[in-house]
Structure formats: C-alpha cells, structure tokens
C-alpha cells in the first residue's frame, strides 16, 4: 500500500497541482537560509504581490490610491502605511478583491469561521501548491510524507449520503478515520493505527481519543507525529497524548485565507513559514498576516482574529525562521465584570499560571451569561484544591469585580466545531 499511496499522491498532484514539486524543492533550498536571506525573499515576493494587487484588484487599487501608497516598497515595514483588512472585507468586497488577472488554473476555497460567516474565494494553482509544499516541508521534520498512512480526527458525524465520498477520499489519501466513539470502535481504530505514521485533527478530539486509548489500556506504536490544528492545544492534553501515542501533540497554525503560518519543529518552536507569509503583530498582540502567494485574491495586512506573541528566532533545530512564542487564541468577546471589561484571554493566563506554578493541568471552558459572574466548566471530579488555586489566580486578575462558580463536567463533549475557551452569551 505504501508505494501505491505514494504513486496516487504524486499522480494526483501532477494533475491538480502541477507546480507542487518545483515549489517544494525551492522551499527545501531555503530551509536553513539565514534570517536576512529570508527577509530578502519576503521583500521580493511582497513587492510582486503589491504590484499585481494594484494592477489587477479593484479593491486594492482604490485602497492604495486612497492612502497614496506606492507598491514599489523599499522595506517590509513600509506596508504599515496600509490599513488592515478583516474577514468582513473579504466577504463584503469579495468580487472587488478578486484579481482580474487570467490564471492558468484556479481552485475554489470555502471556509466558515467560528462566527459562522462563510467566505468563498479562488486560489491560483501556485498559491494552493505553495500551501501544500509548505506543509510537506514541515512533515519532513518528523520523517513523515503526506502519503503515509495516517489517522484523521475530524468530525465523525458524517451524513449518510456523504459517507461513500468520504471513504473514497480517505482511501486515496491513505487515511483512516474513526466514525464512532464506543469502546469497540476505538479498540479497532487503535489497532489499525499501529500501521499509521501520523495523526492529525482537532486537538480536543485527539485528546479525547487519547484518554480513551489510555483508559482501555490499548497500545499504539509507530506514530511519528501527532498534529493538532484549528484549536488551541491545552497543556492538559499533552500527558494523555504522549502516553497514548508516544509523542506530544505538535501544532500547525494557519487558515484558508492566510495559508500555513507556522509549524512546530521537533525542538518545540513554532517557526513562521517566512517564505510565504509576512506576519506582524499590533499593540494588542493581534496577528496581522500577509499571504505572499495570494495573487488571485490578495490577502494583505489581514486580521485573522488571533492573539499571539513572537519569540526569538534562534532555535536549536538550526532554522532561522521567526518563531511564534504563543497563540493565545481567538479574539473573543470581552469578559464583563461589574465595573470593568477584560480581554477574553485572561482565563488563558489564569490556568496557565496554575499549570506553571502548581504543576496542575486543568481542562476548562469559561462561559458568561450575566455581567459580574462567570461559570467555569472544569473537566473532572470536584476538587477543593483546584478551586483554591483558581480562586487565587482569579483574584489577581479580577479582584471583587468578577465572581465565579465551578461546574464539574465528567468529560467535555468532543465538538466538531471550533472550540473557544471563553464564550459570552451576553447580547
């Protein structure tokens, strides 16, 4: 099957993504380039993108003109002269943003975010291939190829009509997936995973399956990479994942609009895919991303809606690509105290502090229905010590302004939807 899968993959790529292997080779050449070389590549690609956006996208032409912006920039930071754009712009100005340039081939991309707003756009073939090639380069860090047998943890509630199509696609991609969550299905799935090389999917789902694998005392070996996407990976997930699959969960960060932004290396650094994206952060730590390959639908200074922080570029793995230190999660509604407002990611710090200081990992979700109080849903059995620690940390950030109650949940629902760690129901 291994050889056949490789053949199917490469044959499919030839048809669908003719420039894939060329882009992949170029990316391999700059994998260990120094920082200045990487920035030089970014500047060249950015100039090309800005010029083509000005020439072919009515939206950007108007935007550049309105800001007296010359696409012939001299440094990367020159683009700070442009305003940022949001998903709302991509949806409302969709036709105007699309490039009028003729591309040999374009592929339709559709996304629906947390807010449920659907966005559709066309990617030119090179853009699509750039994304695939970038991911392929990162898989190399774990000695994994995209055609290797893999387990896929992604929405098992598939409708009857779609099941056949899903099964065919899974077969073509040498992918196995779990459809049911009972002990028998998990046991069979774990057995099948012994011949797989990597796993990917929603991090909360990988975590739930890992717990089940451990509880049932099942053995899974031979996994080289466990990749969590689309959600934050909580520290609380790692011990169970390591025990179940033999390696910790690493994180892939990106979106359909932005392409692959960063990927965690074996040394634990989230390296930015610098050859293909240019990342900025604003004063509030919100990420602003420019997708350097997005010629058919230019994504320039785009607010993805996440909070992040940047770290040192130096990494023991030898790659000079800039590092994302932390992803704090989605920009959400504010937490409302009786007097003040707090950023949604405050809860992230509360539980991070407990993890760091007290070495206790708590799986949580915060919900707010009225000002001044919040419900903390905690996975596990009632534990007075945990409540003491939570109280200590909550006090630090909120004082008397926000009260909380704890609700224990035996086990969080595995959601197929993107999970948020703070949700406000206040209108």
Residues lying near Zn ion in the complex (CB under 5 A) are found at 265, 267, 269, 315, 317, 319
Give me Rg for the CA atoms of the chain.
Answer: 23
Using alpha carbons, select from 83, 142, 91 the residue that is nearest to residue 120. Answer: 91
Whose Cβ is closer to Zn ion: residue 140's or residue 400's? 140
CA 100 → CA 60, 95, 169, 253, 344, distances in Å? 12, 10, 33, 30, 40
Whose Cβ is closer to Zn ion: residue 292's or residue 324's? 324
Using alpha carbons, select from 366, 362, 323 the residue that is nearest to residue 347. Answer: 366
> What is the distance between the alpha carbons of residues 263 and 348, in angstroms, rounded to a whole number?
21
Cβ-based neighbour number of residue 94 at 10 Å: 14
DSSP H or E stretch at residue 55: helix 35-56
Give the nearest distance from C-beta 248 to Zn ion in angstroms. Answer: 15
Whose Cβ is closer to Zn ion: residue 193's or residue 226's? 226
Contacts (Cβ under 8 Å, ≥6 apart) of 171: none
Give the nearest distance from C-beta 317 to Zn ion in angstroms. Answer: 3
Give the nearest distance from C-beta 369 to Zn ion in angstroms. Answer: 43
Give the nearest distance from C-beta 253 to Zn ion in angstroms. Answer: 14
Give the nearest distance from C-beta 344 to Zn ion in angstroms. Answer: 29
Whose Cβ is closer to Zn ion: residue 314's or residue 403's? 314
Using alpha carbons, select from 52, 32, 45 the residue that is nearest to residue 275. Answer: 45
Whose Cβ is closer to Zn ion: residue 124's or residue 269's? 269
* Sign of the CA dihedral running 273, 274, 276, 282: positive
Whose Cβ is closer to Zn ion: residue 263's or residue 347's? 263
> What is the distance between the alpha carbons of residues 369 and 403, in angstroms, rounded to a whole number?
12
Specify whether the CB–CB gap between 49 and 72 falls below 8 A. Answer: no
Give the nearest distance from C-beta 254 to Zn ion in angstroms. Answer: 17
Give the nearest distance from C-beta 266 to Zn ion in angstroms. Answer: 7
DSSP state at residue 334: P
Instruction: Return the ∠ at Cα 320 (arms to 315 and 322), rounded to 5°.
Output: 85
CA 382 → CA 214, 273, 310, distances in Å? 22, 43, 37
Whose Cβ is closer to Zn ion: residue 226's or residue 335's? 226
Give the nearest distance from C-beta 318 to Zn ion in angstroms. Answer: 7
Cβ-based neighbour number of residue 68 at 10 Å: 7
Burial state string for 170-186 with b = 16 or more CB within 10 A and e = fewer than 16: eeebbbbbbeeeeeeeb
By DSSP bridging, strand 175-177 and strand 150-153 are: parallel
Whose Cβ is closer to Zn ion: residue 265's or residue 378's? 265
Give the nearest distance from C-beta 250 to Zn ion in angstroms. Answer: 11
Whose Cβ is closer to Zn ion: residue 50's or residue 136's? 136
> What is the distance between the alpha carbons of residues 320 and 274, in angstroms, rounded to a whole number?
10
Give the nearest distance from C-beta 269 to Zn ion in angstroms. Answer: 4
């Amino acid at each position: 099957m291994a050889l056949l899968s490789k053949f199917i993959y490469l044959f499919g790529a030839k048809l669908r993504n003719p420039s894939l292997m060329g882009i992949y080779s170029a990316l391999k050449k700059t994998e260990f380039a120094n920082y200045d070389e990487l920035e030089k590549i970014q500047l060249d690609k950015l100039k090309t993108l800005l010029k083509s956006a000005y020439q072919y996208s009515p939206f950007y032409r108007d935007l550049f003109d309105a800001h007296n912006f010359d696409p012939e920039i001299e440094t990367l930071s020159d683009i700070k002269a442009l305003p940022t754009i949001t998903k709302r712009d991509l949806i409302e100005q969709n036709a105007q943003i699309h490039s009028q340039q003729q591309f040999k081939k374009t592929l339709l991309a559709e996304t629906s975010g947390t807010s449920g707003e659907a966005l559709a756009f066309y990617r030119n073939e090179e853009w699509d291939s750039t994304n695939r090639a970038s991911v392929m380069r990162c898989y190399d860090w774990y000695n994994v190829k995209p055609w290797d047998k893999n387990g896929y943890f992604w929405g098992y509630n598939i409708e009857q009509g779609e099941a056949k199509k899903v099964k065919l696609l899974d077969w073509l991609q040498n992918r196995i997936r779990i459809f049911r969550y009972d002990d028998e299905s998990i046991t069979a799935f774990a057995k099948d995973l012994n011949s797989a090389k990597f796993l990917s999917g929603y991090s909360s789902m990988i975590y739930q399956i890992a717990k089940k694998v451990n509880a049932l005392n099942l053995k899974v070996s031979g996994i080289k990479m466990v990749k969590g996407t689309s959600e934050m990976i909580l520290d609380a997930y790692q011990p169970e994942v390591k025990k179940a699959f033999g390696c910790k969960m690493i994180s892939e960060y990106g979106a359909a609009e932005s392409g692959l932004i960063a990927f965690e290396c074996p040394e634990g650094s989230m390296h930015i895919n610098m050859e293909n994206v240019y990342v900025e952060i604003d004063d509030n730590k919100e990420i602003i991303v420019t997708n350097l390959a997005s010629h058919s639908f230019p994504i320039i200074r785009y607010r993805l809606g996440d909070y992040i922080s940047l770290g040192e570029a130096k990494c023991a793995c030898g790659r000079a690509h800039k590092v994302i230190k932390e992803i704090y999660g989605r920009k959400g509604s504010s937490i409302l105290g009786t007097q003040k407002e707090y950023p949604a990611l405050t809860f992230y710090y509360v539980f991070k502090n407990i993890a760091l200081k007290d070495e206790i990992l708590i799986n949580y979700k915060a919900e707010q229905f009225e000002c001044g109080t919040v419900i903390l849903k905690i996975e596990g059995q009632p534990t007075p010590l945990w409540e003491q620690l939570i109280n200590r940390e909550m006090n630090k950030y909120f004082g008397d302004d926000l009260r909380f109650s704890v609700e224990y949940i035996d086990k969080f629902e595995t959601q197929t939807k993107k999970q948020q760690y703070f949700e406000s129901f206040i209108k």
